[in-house]
Amino acid sequence: MKFHYIALLSFSIIACKQEPKKQTTEKEPLPLVRQDDMHSFAKPNKAKVKHLDLHLEVDFEKKQISGLATWDIETKENTDEIIFDTNGLLIDSVKVDGSSVQFSLGHEKKYLGRPLDIDIKPTAKKVSIWYRTIPQAEAVQWLNPQQTADKKYPFLFTQSEAILARSWIPCQDSPAIRFTYNATVRVPNYLIALMSATNPTAKNSKGVYTFKQEKPISSYLMALAVGDLEYKQLGPNTGVYAEHSMIKKCAAEFEGLPKMMIAAEKLYGPYQWGRYDVLVLPPSFPFGGMENPELTFATPTIIAGDRSLVSLVAHELAHSWSGNLVTNASWNDMWLNEGFTVYFERRIMEEMEGKDYADMLSVLGFQELQATITDLGPTNEDTKLKLNLRGRNPDDAVGDIAYEKGFCLLKTIENAVGRQRFDAFVTNYFNTHAFKTITSEEFIDYYYKELIGNDKTLAEKIGIEKWVFEPGLPANCPKFNSTRFDAVDTALEQWIKGKPASSLTTKNWSSHEWLHFVRHLPDSMTPEQMKELDKTFKFTESGNSEVLAAWLTLAINNHYVDAYPSLNNFLEHVGRRRFLIPLYKALASTEEGKKMAKGIYASARANYHSVAQVTIDEMLK
């Protein structure tokens, strides 16, 4: 074994010595030679996966997924091993091209799990791994019937991004490595299985489902959901899955999905994935949405009843281009997935609802960005677009920087070159990098070649290096304003000066206007003021989760106890991390609140997915 570590070391030294490609400007050359992903044990330069054939059985009693993963692999000359990532997996046996072989599981590394090292010859073609998951597998959440909407059957879903796929599939768990897959999944025959692939639309009596993903994807896009689900078609290639009691509401909420698809394709070219469906999950889903190919996973907290939160679906749909088609090569480059997607999302919303509407989203996003930068400090390394997450869990770095600072950079470029030229560039970027992966450095190189050319004035006006490699917000950051929020600011001012809430002009306000209103109420208010607002605007009963979460944070900070039953209920059921963090944080800021938080968390924790548990455990330590 020692020998190949030395061989590997000298290989990477040689790799690092390669001349970087020339750039069109005189700036320091960017490192264009790729390093191995710091969040994966895989060594794709020795052997990498190409295709997965997955056979799984889902056992709700044991809370176990078990089966066989057969990988088609591609080897390099002199290869003597292939390495997979695992985290908590029990490996039963391994075969290479049909013959049993030895394998070894290396030491556990924090966040990364254990490397599965398999000796192979350079001629090896197929690696078959028989394995089982443990009940605590981090990607997987097993729900009992009480935790679902219909309360009849158990439910299971996975969340693989960023580095959790390895907790339910032995895989080369780096976004830089793409593969196609087929799967057969056996589940109890009263449930249906769905994956990030072509999906069934109805249950069958055997409980055996087959899937095909013919486009190469990265492991973080592997997904599985099993539950008692129904399907409703919404357009020629779009539809929604949800539990029986939710399906009508969900179909109504997403009625505009076919139109959204048209808007997206009009902007940046044809949708490449066949169907686009949305699966509405039980409330413990830790994110707003997850862009699993062909099947976005979504939180039920976006079912507001008035379509006011559909920009979240626009976001996940946009990932079908930025993220799923052109993929960040490592989690340090996450802004290439998320920043582009926020930009694309707002363009879709502008197309559908007009500029006024999209402006509100930009202003709300910018408020969050400013709060984050203030919180972290403007010189904090984590405010760079290109991150350094060595030794850290990339899930912990999910903040507004990649999203909103990424958006601001793209907006800066758009403003500098004009929309027409920028759109042509983005379309070209998606086309030329389709089904490939990209680093920040490679993106900058491409940007100079395809957009900036030798225009030094333009290059300096934008200053992309400053945006990507330096902390804080560059001075050329655009200003965002919203005319619709001007009316909200007026109402706020009037109320603060003493005008009764009931006589403020709030007619036709959307939830975005309400969110802006709640966010800008004074930090400190009297119980009477809170009561007056609540009586007039019914915030505590709001069906809009964004408005409710913002209001409940205010309620905590102002000890508005009338809202506490609602707060309890929210924390008990909703597992969306973006809502949980500010609420628990507000509670934990006082001794008394922290006690209350711990009390609620003691029972609510069981309802959260592991990624939310990890975050809140840390906060309430």
Residue ranges at the known binding site for Zn(2+): 315, 319, 338
String marking each residue 341-360 x if it binds Zn ion according to CB under 5 A: x-------------------
| Known binding positions | 315, 319, 338
Site string for ligand BES, 336-355 (x = CB under 6 A): --x-----------------
- Tokens representing 212? 């095909």
Asked if 111 is an active-site residue, the reply is: no
Taking the complex as a whole, the smallest distance from the CB of residue 73 to ligand BES amounts, in Å, to 27
Per-residue binder mask for ligand BES (CB under 6 A), 574-613, x = binder: ----x-----------------------------------
Which residue's entry shows tokens 């309802």?
A: 607
Tokens 């197929």: give the residue: 126
Signed CA dihedral, 530, 535, 537, 538: sign only? positive
Whether residue 112 contacts residue 87, with contact meaning beta carbons closer than 8 Å, is answered with yes
Q: Between 170 and 288, name the residue whose CB sits nearer to ligand BES.
A: 288
Could you give the dihedral angle defined by the CA atoms of residues 196, 202, 208 and 211, in that order, rounded to the nearest 10 degrees?
Answer: -30
CB of 386 to ligand BES, least distance (A): 16
Which span (285-293, 451-459, 560-568, 597-605) binds ligand BES, by CB under 6 A?
285-293
Q: Total residues at the site for ligand BES (CB under 6 A)?
A: 16
Tell which positions 370-399 bind ligand BES, by CB under 6 A. 395, 398
Sheet bearing 99-100, strands edge to edge: 99-100, 90-96, 126-132, 64-75, 47-59, 178-186, 208-218
Taking the least distance from each CB to Zn ion, the nearer of 338 and 445 is 338
Marked catalytic residue, from 316, 345, 404, 414:
316
Among residues 324 and 412, whose Cβ is nearest to Zn ion? 324
Asked if residue 222 binds ligand BES (CB under 6 A), the reply is: no
Q: Does 161 bind ligand BES (CB under 6 A)?
A: yes
Piece of the chain touching ligand BES by CB under 6 A; list 89-97, 281-289, 412-420, 588-596: 281-289
Binder among 37, 243, 316, 404 for ligand BES (CB under 6 A): 316
CA angle in degrees (0–180, nearest 5) for 470-472-473: 105
Task: Build a one-symbol-per-residue string for 324-343: x at contacts with Zn ion by CB under 5 A, - elsewhere.
Answer: --------------x--x--
* Cβ at position 606, least distance to Zn ion in Å: 27
Burial 94-104 (b: 16+ CB within 10 A, else e): bbbeeeeeebe
SS3 assignment, position 555: helix
**What are the backbone dihedrals phi and psi of residue 96, each rounded to the nearest 5 degrees, phi first?**
-115, 120
- 383, 405 Cβ separation under 8 angstroms: yes
Q: Residue 439 is encoded by which pair of tokens?
A: 């680093």
Subset of 163-202 contacting ligand BES (CB under 6 A): none
Q: Which does 253 bind (CB under 5 to 8 A by kind): ligand BES, Zn ion, none?
A: none
Residue 288 within binding range of ligand BES, rule CB under 6 A: yes
Residue 547 interacting partner from Zn ion, ligand BES, none (CB closer than 5 to 8 Å by kind): none
* Beta carbon of residue 289, minimum distance to ligand BES (angstroms, whole number): 5
Closest by CA position to 118, among listed 79, 89, 90: 79
**Residue 295 or 417: which CB sits closer to ligand BES?**
295
**Smallest separation, CB 239 to Zn ion (Å):** 21
**In contact, 182 and 241? CB cutoff 8 Å:** no
Q: Which is nearer to ligand BES, 335 or 601 (CB)?
A: 335
**Shortest Å, Cβ 277 to Zn ion:** 17
Write down the catalytic residue from 181, 231, 271, 403: 403
Site residues (CB under 6 A) for ligand BES, limited to 3-22: none
- Which residues, including other chains, have CB under 8 Å from residue 562's CB and lie 6 or more apart? 530, 531, 534, 540, 555
Stretch in the footprint of ligand BES (CB under 6 A) among 89-97, 287-295, 426-434, 520-528: 287-295
Least spacing, CB of residue 346 vs Zn ion, in Å: 13
What is the DSSP secondary-structure string of 38-70?
A: TT----TTTEEEEEEEEEEEEETTTTEEEEEEE
291 interacts with ligand BES by CB under 6 A: yes
- C-beta closer to ligand BES: residue 81 or 161: 161
User: In whole angstroms, what is the distance from residue 481 CA to residue 359 CA?
Assistant: 7
Q: Which two tokens stand for residue 589?
A: 């800021």
Q: Rounded to whole angstroms, how far apart are CA atoms 324 and 508?
A: 37
Q: Is 316 a catalytic residue?
A: yes
Q: Of 161 and 534, which has the nearer Cβ to Zn ion?
A: 161
Least CB distance from residue 338 to Zn ion, whole Å?
Answer: 5
CA 196 distance to own-chain centroid: 14
Report how far residue 489's alpha carbon sits from residue 62's, in angstroms, rounded to the nearest whole number.
55
Half-sphere exposure of 24 (CA within 13 A, CB side): 14
* Cβ-contact 579, 287 below 8 angstroms: no
Counting contacts by CB under 6 A, is residue 312 touching ligand BES?
Answer: yes
Contact 80, 4 (CB under 8 A): yes
Select from ligand BES, Zn ion, none the partner in contact with residue 516, using the beta carbon and a kind-dependent cut-off of 5 to 8 Å.
Answer: none
The reply on whether position 287 binds ligand BES by CB under 6 A is yes
Residue 225 binding partner per list ligand BES, Zn ion, none, with a CB distance cut-off of 5 to 8 Å that depends on partner kind: none
The amino acid sitting at 125 is: K
Phi-psi map region of 283: left, alpha, beta (phi>0 left; psi -120 to 50 alpha): alpha
Q: Which residues are catalytic?
A: 316, 403
Residues lying near Zn ion in the complex (CB under 5 A)? 338, 341
Residues lying near ligand BES in the complex (CB under 6 A)? 161-162, 287-291, 312, 315-316, 319, 338, 395, 398, 403, 578
